[in-house]
A and B are shown apart, each in its own frame.
Chain A
Amino acid sequence: MTSREKVRRALNHQSGPVPVDIGSTGLTSMHVSCVAALRQHYGLPNHPVKVVEPYQMLGEVEDDLARVLGSDCVGMKARGTMFGFKNEDWREWRAPWGQVMLVPKGFGPREDPSGDVYVFPEGDTSVPPSGHMPAGGYFFDAIIRQEPIDEDKLNPADNCEEFKPVDAAEIAHWKAELTRLQGEERAIVGGVGGTGFGDIALVPAAFLKHPKGIRDVSEWYVSLVERRDYVHQIFDFQCEVALKNLETYANTFGDLIDVIVICGTDFGTQSSQFCSPATFADLYAPYYKRVNDWIHAHTKWKTFKHSCGAIRPFMNQFIECGFDILNPVQCSAKDMEAPRLKADFGDRVTFWGGGVDTQRVLPFGTPEEVRAQVTERLRTFSVNGGFVFNTIHNIQARTPVANIVAMVDAIRDFNAGK
């Protein structure tokens, strides 16, 4: 059975070996420091690792490492980054923690004597920086560049600058990616951007030189209550553009990809939610439904929704909106215990994640604890398919290599029937 067949069986809720994803998306990968440590552990060629996603400082899981880790999925590489510069012109950079890695030219960065690191939108140092890695930190946060808000002059169009029709260069990039992946026997995971509604990571628009509209995190949340129409107008516009773009993508990708990442908006906190089910039904569900319906009517792709936290109250709604896949399945949050999730929703949605707790067991547990939890989760989630193994969100810096290795070994042994 090829990797792709394994993934397809799982997505179709058929039993079989559990497929694994480590590294196919910016939500299911790992910190650049972990990639380097694993390459060293497995004796793979020792070269500077590429930072494929600079915001979270995710490292490239190259084919050789993916093979060792047993990953059954491969991602289409994005052309642009969170900071608007392109993933091109790679050069070496030494991070504050001493690791030499490859970063795109636009990354810069500006490094202060204090140890703080700044990056600029589109790499343009003539405008204020949009990303900040604090001294002692391992990734960036968006710098809030909110202009003073004049209620009377608020215009939803200002929040729509980033939603544009795809251009020829973008299409050419995706075509080149498909050529690169020709003959690939793993499942291909795509993500084209523009289909995430109200993702708080994207609201500050670190990729724009002069973001307008509502770009402050708190101000955005306030707008969900106080300026609901404004938000509807943004989502409406965004949805129209997204549906048109999906048409172009469907023509370009055809059946070559298996999964498409739709949205990373987080609806859960550790013990609660960011809104009520009623707000979800009014503000988000209609747009998600339109996007999912279009995709299901015109392609064979399975749609992928990411939301951290305690999202049990939204599970039925996610499913009713047409999402096929849910990630990262944060079992450590309230009411998210694996057995109950599987029993209540497992036949209607694929869990892509939940494989191991990244808040406690993976970073702080012993390899034996990791093995035990991974095995237990595999047992719980793998019944009748509907499960792609992935850690809960990206593997964070400082995670012990021995624990990641214990996880990989546990999956391999489980699939071998040991």
Chain B
Amino acid sequence: MPLLNDLTAAVAAGKRTDTVRLTQELLAAGTGPGTIVEQGLVPGMAIVGEQFKKNEIFVPEMLVAARAMKEALKLLEPLLAAAGIMPKYTVVVGTVQGDLHDIGKNLISMMWRGAGFAVVDLGTNVPPEKYFSAAQEHKAHLVGLSALLTTTMPAMKETVKILKAAGLPNTKIMVGGAPITQAFADDIGADGYAADAGTAVDVAKKLVGEAA
């Protein structure tokens, strides 16, 4: 549908007003909110993730696109809830204890949101217990931990250990952040790692069992 394609392009370009207008037009034309998300917004954010991965766009452009998406979701979420359409997967995300870098964590959250996941963002400086109780409460399929400092890598290790010991059989753990590598992720027993926000979506989908 041309309007859906326009919406995809508007989100990808971060055009907030156009995104909202097109969402309203689609709704007025009778398009279901689920379709608008799946076929309008999600592909838009996928383009953003791809461009970011290739260094064609940068943090500011990503944030602008995320805003456009958020505005559209504000219109759509009540309708989705009313129609009983719930995101299939829930992710809990946060920056580990002692660390306050949050730009990367925010990008990851918005990309996951943009891929149709429900995202519970616990913010920065998150102690292990908080990840655990949020994962339990929201029946999270995935917990995402971010750490940007070598001084907080031990807190990431500790958090993974506690989450694993707590026994949440259906919850996978993903880690990332500037100093984090696949080797470190393996070493601390995390289930997944991604070096950037675009890849994070692919890996998350694989972990929850949805083909990427």
Contacts and interface: CB of A to CB of B under 8 A. Distances in A.
Contacts of A141: 100, 124
A137 B125 contact: yes
Interface residues of B, number: 28
Nearest to B61: A225
A134 interface: yes
Contact of A396 (B58, B106, B149, B155): B149
Contacts of B52: 272
Interface residues of A, number: 31
Contact of A134 (B60, B61, B100): B100
A224 interface: yes
A272 B57 CA distance: 10
Contacts of A396: 149-151
Contacts of A224: 60
Contacts of B124: 134, 141
B60 A222 contact: yes
Contact of A136 (B59, B106, B155): B155
Contacts, number: 76
Contact of A364 (B59, B63, B125, B150): B150
B103 A272 contact: no
A363 B55 contact: no
Contact of B98 (A138, A226, A279, A358): A138
A218 B151 contact: no
Interface string B146-178: 000111000100000000000000000000001
Given A138-B98, A396-B151, A218 B55 contact: no
B60 A275 contact: yes
B18 interface: no
B98 A137 contact: yes
Given A134-B125, A364-B150, A222 B64 contact: yes
A221 interface: yes
B67 interface: yes
B58 A134 contact: no
B14 interface: yes
B125 A360 contact: no
A218 B100 contact: no
B53 to A, nearest CB: 9
Contacts of A384: none
Contacts of B19: none
Contacts of B63: 218, 221-222
Contacts of A222: 60, 63-64, 67
A358 B60 contact: no
Interface string B110-132: 00000000000000110000000
Contact of A218 (B58, B98, B103): B103
A135 B100 CA distance: 12
A108 B126 CA distance: 25
A276 B57 CA distance: 7
Given A136-B98, A396-B151, A398-B151, A274 B59 contact: yes
Contact of A225 (B60, B98, B125, B179): B60
Interface string A186-202: 00000000000000000
B97 interface: yes
A375 interface: no
Given A217-B103, A225-B14, A273 B151 contact: no
Interface in A344-388: 358-360, 363-364
Contacts of B195: 270-271
A269 B59 contact: yes
Nearest to A217: B103
A273 B64 contact: no
Given A137-B125, A218-B103, A269-B178, A397 B60 contact: no
Contacts of B98: 134-138
B107 to A, nearest CB: 10
B196 interface: yes
Interface of A: 132, 134-138, 141, 217-218, 221-222, 224-226, 269-276, 279, 358-360, 363-364, 396-398
The 5 A-B residue pairs with the shortest CB-CB distance, nearest first, are A141-B100, A270-B178, A134-B125, A137-B98, A221-B60
Given A141-B124, A218-B103, A222-B67, 11 more contacts: A135-B98, A136-B155, A221-B59, A221-B103, A225-B64, A270-B195, A272-B196, A274-B60, A275-B58, A275-B60, A360-B179
